[in-house]
Each structure stands twice: as structure tokens, then as C-alpha cells.
Amino acid sequence: MSFAELTRSRYSCRSYEERAIEPEKLSAILEAGRIAPSACNKHPSRVLVCDTDALREKAAKAAKHFAKDGSVFGAPVVLMVCEKVDTAWVRKYDQMGSGDIDTSIVVDQMMMQAEDLGLSTCWVCHFDPRVAIDEFGLPADLYPVHMLTVGYAADEIASECVREARTIPMSDFRIVL
């Protein structure tokens, strides 16, 4: 599958089969995140793999609006991507830290690797980080930024015309000066 085909086939899956992810596929997804680039190679990203009933339930408590069947959207795996505090590169001009960007690159690479392996995902940012910190007992130097649900889809991608209607037109997306 070409990268263009991969980007067009990926969608935000919100319903999963009750089917485990093969360990080798999960390893490949984690490896894609591990090797993701980061600003100045600081690598502030850390991933908590929620692949047991107890861990998935904790993730669901943090993302209560998406809790389903003891997980987030009923996914067999929820990847909690955290930033290791005070390790990301900081831009000197305005003190912008790259942690959100670096962790986003990790999620993006894991998301696309999952799709390439025949799995579906949903990138979740609508969760309460304080609940996640408390539920998981995360140390003070780890801050949860994203969740990525992973599994075999029990729903289907919307039609191409529906997807196109949801997408920003190129004339709005591209800035022409």
C-alpha cells in the first residue's frame, strides 16, 4: 500500500472487535513510535501500554465520555502517550516547548503503522490528564498528552464523498501570499 493509500484508508475507529492484537503487531507499533523523530533528539515521549482489563478500565475512567466495554471505545489496547516533563527541546525565541509536537509525531507514526498492519485506531485527546495521573499513579515527571486506541475495527470507514465533505478544501488549507 502506498503512503497516499494509507492516509486515505485511515479513519478514527470508535468500535472494536473483541479480538486481541498479536504481540508482534503491537511490538511493531511501539517500535514505530520509539524511532519517531523529536526536536534535537530529546525524545520526551513515553508510552504506557494498557492491554489488561485493569489498565484499560483506568484509561476509560480518564476518557469517561468514550468509555465502552471497560475500555476506551472498547479497544483491546489503549496506548497512553506521556511527555517526560522538562526533557523536550525549548525554542529560545518564545519558550515554546516541543513536547506536544514530539508526542504527536509518536502517535502519528504508531497510528499509521497500525493501519499498515490491518489495525484501526482513534487518536484521543479528550480525556482528563489529572484522572489519568491519579488512576495510573504516574510519577510527577510524566504528563499524559494523548491516548491511541488500537484494535480490529467493528465499524466501517465513511464513504469517500462523506469523508471529502468533512475535509478542509485545498483553497482554505493552502496559504497563498
The domain limits of the chain are 3-173
Residue 108's nearest CA partner among 23, 38, 21 is: 38
Give the pLDDT confidence score for residue 1 in this predicted structure. 84
**What ranges in the chain are assigned the alpha helix state H?**
3-9, 23-34, 53-62, 99-116, 129-136, 160-166, 170-173
- pLDDT tens-digit readout, 60-70: 999 999 999 99
Q: Which DSSP letter does residue 153 get?
A: B
Architecture in CATH for domain 3-173: 3-Layer(aba) Sandwich (3.40)
Give the pLDDT confidence score for residue 159 in this predicted structure. 92
The ranges of the chain with pLDDT < 50 are none
Q: Which DSSP letter does residue 66 get?
A: G
Give the pLDDT confidence score for residue 131 in this predicted structure. 98
Cell numbers for 86, please give them. 522538562
How many Å separate Cα 156 from the centre of its chain?
19
